Amino acid sequence: MKNLRVIVVKSAWICSLVLSVFSTAWSHERQLPPVPEGASPGLQKAISAAGAPSTRRRQVSAPTTEDEWRAAAAIMASAPGPSLSDISGQLNVTIAAQVIAGVDVYWINPMGTPKTKGLLMYLHDGAYVFGGGVKSVPEAARISAIAKIPSIAIDYRRPPDDPYPAALDDVEAVYRSLLKTHSPENIGIGGTSAGGGLSLASVHRFNDVGLPAPGALYLGTPWADLTKTGDTFYTLAGVDRILGSYEGLLENAAHLYAAGADLKNPLLSPVYGEFSGFPPAYLVTGTRDLFLSDTARVHRKLRAAGVEAELNVYEGLSHAEYLFIEGSLEHAAIYQELSIFLNRHLGSP
Amino acid sequence: MKNLRVIVVKSAWICSLVLSVFSTAWSHERQLPPVPEGASPGLQKAISAAGAPSTRRRQVSAPTTEDEWRAAAAIMASAPGPSLSDISGQLNVTIAAQVIAGVDVYWINPMGTPKTKGLLMYLHDGAYVFGGGVKSVPEAARISAIAKIPSIAIDYRRPPDDPYPAALDDVEAVYRSLLKTHSPENIGIGGTSAGGGLSLASVHRFNDVGLPAPGALYLGTPWADLTKTGDTFYTLAGVDRILGSYEGLLENAAHLYAAGADLKNPLLSPVYGEFSGFPPAYLVTGTRDLFLSDTARVHRKLRAAGVEAELNVYEGLSHAEYLFIEGSLEHAAIYQELSIFLNRHLGSP
């Protein structure tokens, strides 16, 4: 796994550098908390290596115009990352680019006999703007490899060319197609960050259009509220080493994606929707995660609606940082427990 | 319920004022986060009413000498609070002061037919120093009333006269006595803050001395680590409106209770113990809780040991604040879900 890990770490470093440059400001001048002793050695090392955020970065503006967004997306797309054959070789999965109902997807199959009839519709991260193409695949492939179930990583359309509701339309189209050959209780849906938020919004959409709910939800620190409402946008500003602050990239991406729609529409900020009838959910966040509040608020809404939901909060973890700390105990625990969860809920072979 | 609520709110206000006076310092000068929109109206109102912490309070020292601790404990003990007959009348429970195996307890019985064979050994909050006598009772009575199971609220010995391990000895003595008439799987153990930490330490102790594990754990924002290790002691210093900071009351109480023993001994800081064989646990914390990290770290240790454990994080909630916001949605949800949890795990009638 070493080569892939080096590529992922390099890619993460460059992506977080790019994200940092686009974040305008930490809302408080903060003394950074010490490296958390209760985190694993792997996470501690990653946090130590990151150092303090540079003040210079805070003065650079996040993209605002469509051209600036296109330029930023091009930088992110050209950041080094594993190729499909890297991923395939290292994780022992097959990956096929396909088109389902007019939507670009990657169909990922683990080697050997599947453990269940289940499969995962995977929605990638990237603030709704970044992360398509080959970058749709790595986390989906990781889950397929560990859970031994196929994933369909959806390369959903993104702004500025295709803002809301294009991404939702794509997910709905793929889901309708999968339902011709699969039972909804065998289909999971999930992803990290925007992928988690889009998964929640998709279940609201399925409900709106009369489609059955899927069988399980993976909500990795979901972007469940596009507005600056969550408590931890305030309490952890300047502490989350991946995102830094709401102001800047996140705020601008929210408006770019919404394209004039009300940010509190449940199809954009799914925490404001109704959760009765939602499938069992596995949620992950961390004590330094700007989206800790959003994750916890969704967990509470699910539990209040009587939905089975497992909330997991990792010591010292910033937003979506588990994607980047391969080899750490946190990374291993998150995907191991997610695999058990998906296999428990998506049916037996 | 109105009278009791008024008394509880007054009592909470005075206790938090006293606690604030004893907290020496917030470690950062912080701009307080706004009232969280995602909290319930009841919690929002409580936060608004609290206002910003006064800088004057930061300069007052926490107790250090035994005499200062005795004076502080006397102030806390004389703070107004509901009497046994207030509690009994309002919650429709009977309360009997008893001595079990030489230990003072309050045996609380709900009216009517019990829902299960279960009962709860309840351990009160108060940083190991405060909160005995009648103040052992209110949360236990609340749980008995809602869950329809008896509680034994243990008025365990406290420092400065009786530091560690006196409290543990008391819990063990009561548990040994209860085991003569009850199956361990019908006995729950739990409490808030120091009561949650002491519950965890008690299960470690039971394991050490060869007693069977109880049937369920209630861990309300448990003080699971007496050292300043948890990430949120840093990230939420000055944000938690109940505790303020580790420095001051908490740090001094930790040393008073340990009385020279290693603070990282699992019987003092139970997060450092082994969790295999622990009973199912229900955990509660909030996004402004200094003990969010300790709660999350315990949850992770339990899950890693294969123990069923439900973590709940409430938006905007400071340490143990649910005790004081009767009538709020948070208060209702916490005790309703705890009741379901206890009844599920402590056996059928």
Q: For residues A210 and A212, give the distance between their C-alpha atoms in angstroms, rounded to a whole number.
A: 6
Q: If you measure CA to CA, which chain A residue comes closest to B312?
A: A311
- On whether any CB of chain B is under 8 Å from the CB of A299, the answer is yes
| Residues of chain B positioned with their CB less than 8 A from the CB of A229 | 36-38
Residue B128 to residue B86: CA distance in whole angstroms: 25
Looking at the predicted structure, is the pLDDT value of residue B10 above 60?
Answer: no
d(CA A22, CA A177): 38
- Is A55 in the B-facing interface, judged by CB distances under 8 Å? no
B269 touches chain A (CB under 8 A): no
Smallest Cβ distance to B38: which of A36, A297, A311?
A297
3-state secondary structure of A283: strand
* Beta-carbon separation of B28 and A33 below 8 A: no
Residues of chain A found within 8 Å of residue B331, distances taken between Cβ atoms: none
> Does the distance separating the beta carbons of A304 and B313 come in below 8 Å?
no
Count other Cβ atoms within 10 Å, centred on residue B112.
8
List strand residue ranges (DSSP E) for A161-287, in order: 187-192, 216-220, 281-286
pLDDT of residue A50: 78
- A86 CA to chain B: closest CA distance, Å? 31
- Would you give the end-to-end CA distance of chain A in angstroms? 28
The answer to which of A110-114, A142-146, B22-26, B236-240 has the lowest mean pLDDT is: B22-26
- Measure B154 CA to nearest chain A CA, in Å: 31
List, in order of start, the domains of chain B with CATH numbers. 4-345 (3.40.50.1820)
With CA atoms as reference, the chain A residue closest to B36 would be A231
pLDDT band at A116 (very low <50, low <70, confident <90, very high): confident
Residues in a beta bridge with B191: B123, B219
Residue A86 CB coordination number (10 Å): 16
CA distance B77 to B64: 18
Q: What band does A110 get if pLDDT is binned at 50, 70 and 90?
A: very high
Contact A287 B292 (CB under 8 A): yes
pLDDT value, residue B283: 98
- Judged by a CB distance cut-off of 8 A, whether residue B28 touches chain A is yes
Closest chain A CA to residue B44: A231
The token pair that represents B21 in the structure block: 């006076």
* Residue among B329, B325, B330 at smallest CA distance from B312: B330
Q: Residues of A with CB below 8 A from B234's CB?
A: 33-34
- Kindly determine whether residue B37 and residue A293, on different chains, have CB atoms separated by under 8 Å: no
Let me know: does A296 contact B36? Beta carbons within 8 Å.
Answer: no
* Contact flag A288-B315 (C-beta cutoff 8 Å): no
Q: What are phi and psi of A44, to 5 degrees?
A: -60, -45
Residue A25: per-residue pLDDT:
34
Q: How confident is the model at residue B13 (pLDDT cuts 50, 70, 90)?
A: very low
Which of A226, A283, A287 is the best residue to mutate to test the B interface, defined by the most B CB atoms within 10 Å of its own CB? A287
Among A144, A78, A62, which residue's Cα sits nearest to residue A108? A144
| A140 contacts A119 by C-beta, under 8 angstroms | no
Q: Are B324 and B12 in contact (CB under 8 A)?
A: yes
What pLDDT, on a 0 to 100 scale, did the predictor assign at position B93?
97
- What's the CA gap between B22 and B127, in Å, rounded? 12
pLDDT band for position B348 (50/70/90)? low
Q: Which residue of B has its CA nearest to A292?
A: B287
Q: Indicate the average pLDDT of chain B.
A: 90
The alpha carbon of residue B299 is apart from the nearest alpha carbon of chain A, in Å, by 8
Q: What is the ipTM, given to two decimal places?
A: 0.92
Query: B237-294: per-residue pLDDT in tens?
Result: 999 999 999 999 999 999 999 999 999 999 999 999 999 999 999 999 999 999 999 9
Output phi, psi for A273, to 5 deg.
-90, -175
Using a CB-CB distance cutoff of 8 angstroms, which residues of chain A are in contact with residue B37? 229
- The string of pLDDT tens digits covering residues A290-345 is 999 999 999 999 999 999 999 999 999 999 999 999 999 999 999 999 999 999 99
**A235, A292, A315: residue with CB nearest B33:** A235
Whole-angstrom distance, CA of residue B270 vs CA of residue B17: 29
Question: Could you tell me which chain B residue has the CA closest to the CA of A297?
Answer: B315
Nearest to B315 among A33, A296, A313 (CB): A296
Say if A291 is an interface residue toward chain B (CB within 8 Å): no
Tell me the pLDDT tens digit for each residue of B197-214: 999 999 999 999 999 999
pLDDT of B6 strictly over 80: no
Asked if B34 has any chain A CB less than 8 Å from its own CB, the reply is yes
Which pLDDT score is estimated for A185?
97
In chain B, residues with a C-beta closer than 8 Å to the C-beta of A43 are: none
Q: Which residue of A has its CA nearest to B240?
A: A235
> Is A315 part of the contact surface with chain B (CB cutoff 8 Å)?
yes
Reference B154, options B94, B209, B93, B202; nearest CA is B202
Testing the interface with B: which of A40, A290, A313 to mutate, by most B Cβ within 10 A? Answer: A313
- Segment among A306-310, B25-29, B320-324 with least mean pLDDT: B25-29
pLDDT tens figures, A250-287? 999 999 999 999 999 999 999 999 999 999 999 999 99
Q: A336 at the B interface (CB within 8 A)? A: no
Chain A CB contacts of B280 below 8 Å: none
Residues B106-126 have pLDDT tens digits of 999 999 877 678 999 999 999
Instruction: Quickly state the pLDDT bin for A104 (edges 50, 70, 90).
Output: very high
User: B192 at the A interface (CB within 8 A)?
Assistant: no
Chain A and chain B share a number of CB contacts under 8 A equal to 105
Q: How confident is the model at residue A26 (pLDDT cuts 50, 70, 90)?
A: very low
CB-based contact (8 Å) between B319 and chain A?
Answer: no
Q: What angle do CA B197, A316, B36 make, to 5 degrees?
A: 80
Gap between the Cα atoms of A140 and A338, Å rounded = 12
Contacts B304 to A, Cβ<8 Å:
333
B223-242 residues touching A, CB cutoff 8 A: 225, 229-232, 234-236, 239
Phi, psi of A195, deg, nearest 5: -65, -35
Q: Does B250 touch chain A (CB under 8 A)?
A: no
Contact B314, B286 (CB under 8 A): yes
Considering only the beta carbons, identify the residue of B37, B300, B303 that sits closest to A229. Answer: B37
Q: Concatenate the DSSP letters of all residues of A88-125 into one string.
A: HHHHTEEEEEEEETTEEEEEEEESSS-SSS-EEEEE--
Q: How far apart are CA B170 and CA B156, in angstroms?
A: 6
Nearest to B288 among A231, A304, A333 (CB): A231
In 3D space, the residue among B314, B294, B287 whose CA is nearest the CA of residue B224 turns out to be B294
Closest CA of chain A from B127, distance in Å? 22
For residue range A27-83, list pLDDT tens digits in order: 344 568 999 999 999 999 999 987 655 434 443 568 999 999 999 999 999 988 999
- Look at A293 and B287 and tell me if their CB atoms are within 8 Å: yes
Q: Do B297 and A38 touch (CB under 8 A)?
A: yes
